[in-house]
Amino acid sequence: MQSQKRQVKIMRVQNLKISKYTLLFLLLVAFVILEFFVMSPDFFEKNNTEDYVANDFDKNNVAADDDKKNIVEQKALGIHLVENGDNKKSYQLFANEAVGTSDMRWVLKTVKIQFYNENKVNYTVAGDVGEIDGDSKDIIIRGRVTTGSSNGYSFKTETLRYISKQKIMTSDDTVIMEGPSNKSGKGFILTGEKLFVDLIKDKMSILNKITATKLINEKRFLLTSTRADFSNNNREVTFSGDVKMNLGTFYVQAPIVNFYYSKHNNALTLIVLKQGVAFTDGDRKGTCDRLEMDLIENKMTLRGQPKVQQGADEIRGQEIVFIDGGKKVRINKTNKLKQGTKQYE
């Protein structure tokens, strides 16, 4: 009986010793880990920063490929960068946050860039995130990108690339453009593909699948074309490539269409179609080399071998003018007139 009690006591002592050794071992492990935290903060700084980039930047597909991203060097808040070229300010950039890397790249969050021409802001670009190549000075912006011109055009894309050497901006995305409003109403709403901005020539282009809509003189306007070019100097717009246009009951086709605006109130005043025009309006149809639609005087002028046919009547001349929305017709230097002219003046 005493022998059994002694054995139980020895076992408890051994268990107690084992527990003390285990505790000492755990304390030693904890000390080593704590020392690693203190002596190697870069390890956790790197992982935290990588997680930051992944969570906030990769959602918008902005961070470069892993093989382009080396060790993170620094992170900064409230970025303001000014880029000069040829002794002139090229652009200034603002960003809420930036992460720099050892391969001279910066990944930015909440970006706005103002591009200058002759010391004036001509274009402003804003987006969710961006990336700057420190060597080439090229910039990529992604995520709800808006490009605004100084004369009121606004282009929305998902991505935009600025190529510093050529001073151009490009995007292969779908483009939504909103034209400047004026006293007569809202501007064009236009969709297309592939945005191209030439900062030197101060021109903007959408290069494919153009569809434009607008309300003109209380009539629905619809235009389709291959390409659209916009000037940042005078708001002129050129549509080209199989242009098809509807304005109320009026339908016209032409290779090129130009839109001209008033310098006083920026209202659309004149539409010019050229290089082979064909149109229909109810039972009236015609052809000419050049067609001018004066929206202020509500008249339409056909030049360059114009020909108009309505029912059995056909009009030819050097110039044909439709007045008062087409209710009256004036013929200048008539070449040939077939059958009755009772509806014309």
Q: What is the pLDDT of residue 48?
A: 42
**3-state DSSP assignment of residue 14:** helix
Q: What is the pLDDT of residue 92?
A: 95
CA 84 to chain centre: 24
Q: Is-contact 179 188, C-beta < 8 A?
A: yes
Q: Is-contact 225 257, C-beta < 8 A?
A: yes
Q: What is the pLDDT of residue 181?
A: 82
The rounded distance, in Å, linking the Cα atoms of 163 and 146 is 17
The rounded distance, in Å, linking the Cα atoms of 316 and 325 is 19
pLDDT, tens digit only, all 345 positions of the chain: 444 444 444 444 444 344 555 555 555 545 444 444 444 444 334 444 344 344 545 554 444 444 444 455 688 898 898 988 777 889 999 999 999 876 678 899 999 999 998 889 999 999 999 999 988 999 999 999 999 999 999 999 999 999 999 999 999 999 999 998 877 678 889 999 999 999 999 999 999 999 999 888 788 899 999 999 999 988 899 999 999 999 988 999 999 999 998 888 778 899 999 999 999 998 899 999 999 999 889 999 999 999 999 888 898 888 999 998 778 888 886 654 444 443 333
The rounded distance, in Å, linking the Cα atoms of 120 and 151 is 12
CATH number of 61-137: 2.60.450.10
Q: Where are the beta strands (DSSP E) in the chain?
A: 72-85, 88-101, 105-117, 120-133, 139-149, 154-163, 168-178, 189-198, 203-216, 219-225, 227-231, 237-247, 250-261, 268-281, 284-294, 299-303, 307-310, 313-323, 328-338
Q: What is the pLDDT of residue 227?
A: 98
| Cα Rg of the chain, angstroms | 35
The rounded distance, in Å, linking the Cα atoms of 239 and 210 is 9
pTM of the model: 0.75
Query: Strand pairing partners for 323?
Result: 328
Q: Where are the domains of the chain?
A: 2-39, 61-137
Quick one: angle between helices 41-52 and 2-39, nearest 10? 70
Q: What is the largest CA-CA distance in the chain?
A: 141
Q: Where are the alpha helices (DSSP H) in the chain?
A: 2-39, 41-52
